[in-house]
Amino acid sequence: MTSIAVIGGGSWATAIIKILSENNVSIRWWLRDRAAVDHIRKHHYNPDYLRDVRLSPRKVKTFTKIADAINGAEYIILAIPAAFVQEPLSGLTPQHFAGKRVVSAIKGMIPTSNCLVTDWVEDHFEVPISQISVIAGPCHAEEVALEKQSYLTIASTDAACAADFSQLMSCRFVTANPLTDLYGVEYAAVMKNIVALTCGISHGLGYGDNFQAVLVSNAMQEIRRFVDAVDPRERDLSASAYLGDLLVTAYSQFSRNRTFGNMIGRGYSVQSAQMEMKMIAEGYYAVNSIFDMNKKYGVEMPITEAAYKILYERQPPAAEIGALKRKLR
Ligand SMILES: NC(=O)C1=CN([C@@H]2O[C@H](COP(=O)(O)OP(=O)(O)OC[C@H]3O[C@@H](n4cnc5c(N)ncnc54)[C@H](OP(=O)(O)O)[C@@H]3O)[C@@H](O)[C@H]2O)C=CC1
Ligand SMILES: O=C(CO)COP(=O)(O)O
């Protein structure tokens, strides 16, 4: 039986636990909310996210201290939005991570340093990069809860590491495939959130499917330019880890980033949209990180720039999407 610590109590953590529970695993789940822990111990479902997902008390144990959750675990899965992942892990040291594999389920960047979560884990906790992987691919927690057929990609620089964890993340309704393009997959996952957010803004402004199709096609080219500049290597961006993830997030009713953008397009301020949404839209933070990073690379990125001007320079969405409109082909 494989022992796996899951860090984070939101929708994606809950969905990942549902997938893993289909296999021969023992799950050590850390949530920051004491009341949620008590509730799960008593009622065997998460009171705040995906309430329909039943949690096996035999397989899933909850913890209020991270060090206890990761004690004895072979894998540590991080499933907290990137903007908030540092604080709960701040009491941990490289010793806590020694000999363990780390999996990032996070599609975001550490905002204070603009670094990928996997780079942060490697630097901060001295985990060899070959022992780190990411969970990627087009997969919404809500559809996992409904057991709708889904596909994931597990990316690691080490093929065996990716293959091993792919097995654990495959079940009746999920097929997980390994890939060795760790950085390409991770950057693409961060950037698709920016695109979904911009799709949402356009939709909120009244733009239709015709416009969105062109926006998404241009976005794929923007992702290619940026990823090639940051981590040049042969990769097939039409694979589901890249294009598939972009499509699901840009078009799905479940997308947090699209929903957030839609509110901005309809006139909400960033703060009021964040307050109204019960979940976190990673894209808001990603816009700032990627925009900032690109000062070094100088890649042509009209979509990210438009999103940055709207979200961080408070430029009117209608004017910025209007200007973007003239740059799309
Ligand atoms: N949802 C999905 O379908 C997918 C999500 N992802 C990625 O998974 C990651 C997690 O997202 P998701 O589960 O959807 O997010 P949710 O908004 O559903 O949950 C956020 C989680 O983060 C916790 N959190 C918020 N602020 C803090 C904080 N300051 N300190 C500690 N914990 C905090 C929340 O705790 P609390 O409940 O106590 O507020 C909650 O457990 C993101 O990077 C996202 O991009 C990837 C693929 C699919
Ligand atoms: O990454 C995700 C699905 O693959 C979740 O992000 P969204 O909720 O914004 O689509």
CB 30 within 8 A of CB 5: yes
Residue 199 corresponds to which amino acid?
C
- Give per-residue pLDDT as tens, 37-57: 999 999 999 999 999 999 999
Alpha carbons 176 and 162: distance in angstroms, whole number:
10
CB neighbourhood size of 134 (10 A): 28
User: Is the shortest distance between the CB of 88 and ligand 1 below 6 Å?
Assistant: yes
Alpha carbons 136 and 103: distance in angstroms, whole number:
11
- Give per-residue pLDDT as tens, 199-210: 999 999 999 999
Q: Does domain 2-180 have CATH number 3.40.50.720?
A: yes
- Between the two ends of the chain, the Cα-to-Cα distance in Å is 52
- Position in ligand 2 atom list of the atom nearest CA 259: 9
Q: Whose structure tokens read 């509110």? A: 263
Give the distance (Å) from ligand 1 centre to CA of residue 78.
Answer: 10
CB 165 within 8 A of CB 75: yes
Give the distance (Å) from ligand 1 centre to CA of residue 6.
Answer: 12
- Position in ligand 1 atom list of the atom nearest CA 12: 13
| 273 sits in which H/E element | helix 270-276
184-325 CATH? 1.10.1040.10
Coil, strand or helix at 254: coil
Ligand closest to the CA atom of residue 79: 1
Residue 229 pLDDT more than 90? yes
Q: Do domains 2-180 and 184-325 have the same CATH topology?
A: no
- Give per-residue pLDDT as tens, 299-310: 999 999 999 999
Of the candidates 279, 280, 278, 260, which has an alpha carbon nearest to the alpha carbon of residue 270?
260
- Give per-residue pLDDT as tens, 258-282: 999 999 999 999 999 999 998 899 9
Coil, strand or helix at 30: strand
**What is the average per-residue pLDDT within 144-162?**
98
Coil, strand or helix at 179: strand
Residue positions forming the annotated binding site for substrate: 107, 256-257
Residue positions forming the annotated binding site for NAD(+): 84, 141, 256
What is the reported pLDDT for 117? 98
ipTM over 0.90: yes
Give the distance (Å) from ligand 1 centre to CA of residue 238.
Answer: 27
User: Is the shortest distance between the CB of 151 and ligand 1 below 6 Å?
Assistant: no
Coil, strand or helix at 288: helix
Q: Whose structure tokens read 């397989």? A: 59
What is the reported pLDDT for 311? 98
Residue 255 corresponds to which amino acid?
S
CB neighbourhood size of 72 (10 A): 11
With a pLDDT cut of 90, the percent of the chain lying above it is 99
- Position in ligand 1 atom list of the atom nearest CA 87: 30
Ligand 2 interacting residues, C-beta cut-off 6 A:
107, 138-140, 193, 196, 245, 248-249, 252, 254-257
What is the reported pLDDT for 279? 86
Give the distance (Å) from ligand 2 centre to CA of residue 246.
Answer: 9
Of the candidates 283, 231, 289, 221, which has an alpha carbon nearest to the alpha carbon of residue 257?
283
Domain ranges for the chain, please list them: 2-180, 184-325
Annotated catalytic residue within 192, 278, 309, 325:
192
Pocket test for ligand 1, best of 6, 7, 12 (most atoms within 8 A of CB): 12
100 is catalytic: no
Residue positions forming the annotated binding site: 84, 107, 141, 256-257
Pocket test for ligand 2, best of 11, 152, 256, 280 (most atoms within 8 A of CB): 256
**What is the average per-residue pLDDT within 244-251?**
97
Alpha carbons 211 and 228: distance in angstroms, whole number:
26
